[in-house]
Amino acid sequence: MKIGVLRENLAGERRVAITPHIVKRLIQSGHSVTVEGQAGAGAGLADDAYQAEGATIVGRTDVLSSDLIATVNAPQDADLRDTMVLGLLRPFEDPSQMTSYASRGITGLAFELVPRTTRAQAMDALSSQATVSGYQAALEGAKACDRFFPMLTTAAGTIPPARALILGAGVAGLQAIATSRRLGAVVSAFDVRAAAAEQVRSLGASFLESDLEPQDATSNGGYARQLETDATERVRASLAAPVATADVVIATAAIPGKAAPLLITTAMVESMRPGSVIVDVSAGTGGNCELTRPGEAVRHGGVQVIGFTDLASRKPYDASQMYARNVAALIEIIGPDGFLDLSDDILDQITVTYGGEVRHPRIRELVAGR
> Exposed/middle/buried for 216, CB within 10 Å: 0-12, 13-18, 19+?
exposed
Q: Is 121 a catalytic residue?
A: yes
Distance of CA 315 to the CA centre of its chain: 13
Q: Is 66 a catalytic residue?
A: no
Q: Are 367 and 91 a contacting pair, CB within 8 Å?
A: no
Residue of 116, 147, 236, 273 marked active site? 116
Q: Are 2 and 67 a contacting pair, CB within 8 Å?
A: yes
H helix or E strand, kind and range, residue 179: helix 171-182
The DSSP result for 237-290, as a single string, is: HHHHHHHHH-SEEEE----TTSPPP--B-HHHHHTSPTT-EEEETTGGGT-SBT
Q: Are 259 and 286 a contacting pair, CB within 8 Å?
A: yes
Q: Is 124 a catalytic residue?
A: yes
Per-residue b or e along 229-261, where b marks 16 or more CB atoms closer than 10 Å to that residue's CB = eeebeebbeebeebbbebbbbbbbbbbbbeebb
Residue of 90, 223, 273, 344 marked active site? 223
Residue of 7, 15, 25, 124 marked active site? 124
Three-class secondary structure of residue 306 per DSSP: strand
Strand partners, 248: 164, 277
Cβ count within 10 A of residue 335: 14
Q: Is 225 a catalytic residue?
A: no
Residue of 29, 32, 100, 121 marked active site? 121
Distance CA 277, CA 142 (A): 9
Residue of 97, 127, 129, 199 marked active site? 127
Distance CA 161, CA 151 (A): 4
Cβ count within 10 A of residue 287: 26
Q: What are the catalytic residues?
A: 116, 121, 124, 127, 223
